[in-house]
């Protein structure tokens, strides 16, 4: 969201569509969230 806020104005909401992660050696080493962002076009 911090990155989206830098380039989009008028953000009104978001939905997390999915989470994914990578485990190596029993530890989480990477994770991702796929999101849909709602914003108003001017």
Domain with 32, as residue range(s), is 2-39
> Cα dihedral sign for 6, 1, 20, 17?
negative
Q: What global pTM score does this model have?
A: 0.60
Q: Count up the domains in the chain and report the number.
A: 1
pLDDT of residue 13: 94
pLDDT per residue over 1-42, tens digit each?
788 888 888 999 999 999 999 999 999 999 999 999 999 988
pLDDT of residue 3: 81
pLDDT of residue 16: 95
Neighbours of 24 (CB within 10 A): 8
């Amino acid at each position: 969201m911090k990155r989206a806020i830098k380039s989009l104005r008028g953000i009104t909401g978001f939905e997390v569509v999915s989470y994914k992660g990578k485990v190596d050696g029993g530890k989480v080493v990477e994770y991702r969230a796929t999101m849909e962002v709602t914003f108003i076009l001017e």
